[in-house]
Amino acid sequence: MQETNKSTSKARVYLVEDHPVVREYIAAHVRNDLGLEVCGGAGNTKQALAEIHQMKPDLVIIDLSLADGHGFELIKDIGLTPPVPRMLVFSAHDEEVYAERVLEAGALGYVRKTASEAELLEAIRRVLNGQVYLSASMTSKVLLRRVTPPRGDHRSPIQALSDRELQVFELIGNGQSTKQIASTLGVDAKTIETYRARIKEKLGLDSAPALMRAAFQWVNHGAAPELEAGQPLP
């Protein structure tokens, strides 16, 4: 995606999405707002970091699943070098599992890819103004958790995974081998095996094939009903 002409009157938006068609889809929606312009875009973390530091956009819209890494790590890396732009996650993943995690990583909002153009633009405007944006239902859940005294752990097994465990689980669901996951995350294969063991324990899975089935179902269907119900997959 080529850099557009700069305009001092418009907020500049950079897009990080590894599917070019989806990236152009987002760009078209952004351009429908007269106060916004797309200044660039990338499908991988390396290019994104270099161009974000060079272009200094006002807002970065980030997908979580990227060709060479994960949106969590990109959010954290962007935050290491000032000036830090506002960040908004636009993802197909389950908001219930990911929204609070991306806020903790440094983003200000989370929008599902099923959202309407109006909702996406509203999220963009709020985040540009330094406000947090989550869906109405997710906002209610977050506030309820903050004001209700804890009575045991009512999270689903998926939500109990750490950020890195969730990344590994997602990559397993994408069909990556232990060696490939290690390369993607920049760690050794033994570390990934440790994560795989922890994931199996937390999800109540007793074999590598069961882990692969659960991960595939999570990635391709957005949830694993057996896991969400607290039952291990066969």
Tell me if 125 is assigned to some domain: yes
Same domain, 49 and 132: yes
Number of H helices, E strands in the chain: 11, 7
Q: Is the pLDDT of residue 217 over 60?
A: yes
Same domain, 24 and 112: yes
Same domain, 110 and 224: no
Tell me if 76 is assigned to some domain: yes
Same domain, 90 and 116: yes
Higher pLDDT, 11 or 7: 11
Structural domain range at position 106: 11-144
**pLDDT of res. 234:** 36
Considering only 20-24, 86-90, 221-225, which range has the smallest mean pLDDT? 221-225
Amino acid at 39: C
Structure tokens at 168: 């590994």
Structure tokens at 223: 């949830």
Tell me if 81 is assigned to some domain: yes
* Domain count along the chain: 2
CA–CA distance, 169 with 196 (Å, rounded to integer): 8
Do 18 and 65 form a contact (C-beta atoms < 8 A)?
Answer: yes
pLDDT category of residue 4 using cuts at 50, 70 and 90: very low
Q: Is the pLDDT of residue 70 over 50?
A: yes
Extract the runs of DSSP E, i.e. beta strands, from the chain.
11-16, 36-42, 59-62, 65-66, 69-70, 86-91, 109-112
**What value does the mean pLDDT take over residues 176-197?**
92
- Tens-digit pLDDT profile for residues 128-170: 999 999 988 888 777 776 666 556 555 678 888 998 999 899 8
- Alpha carbons within 13 angstroms on the beta-carbon side of residue 185 total 26
CA–CA distance, 95 with 159 (Å, rounded to integer): 11
What is the C-alpha end-to-end distance of the chain, expressed in Å?
45
- Tens-digit pLDDT profile for residues 96-120: 888 889 999 999 999 999 899 999 9
CA–CA distance, 177 with 231 (Å, rounded to integer): 25
Same domain, 137 and 162: no
Same domain, 177 and 75: no
Same domain, 108 and 134: yes
Tell me if 5 is assigned to some domain: no
**pLDDT of res. 129:** 96
Do 113 and 90 form a contact (C-beta atoms < 8 A)?
Answer: yes
**What value does the mean pLDDT take over residues 197-203?**
93
Q: Is the pLDDT of residue 6 over 80?
A: no
Tell me if 3 is assigned to some domain: no
Higher pLDDT, 55 or 1: 55
Name the strands in the sheet holding 59-62, side by side, starting at the edge strand that comes first in the sequence.
Answer: 36-42, 11-16, 59-62, 86-91, 109-112
- Tens-digit pLDDT profile for residues 77-101: 999 989 999 999 999 888 888 888 9
CA–CA distance, 145 with 140 (Å, rounded to integer): 9
- DSSP lists the bridge partners of residue 59 as 13, 86
**pLDDT of res. 86:** 98
Q: Is the pLDDT of residue 181 over 50?
A: yes
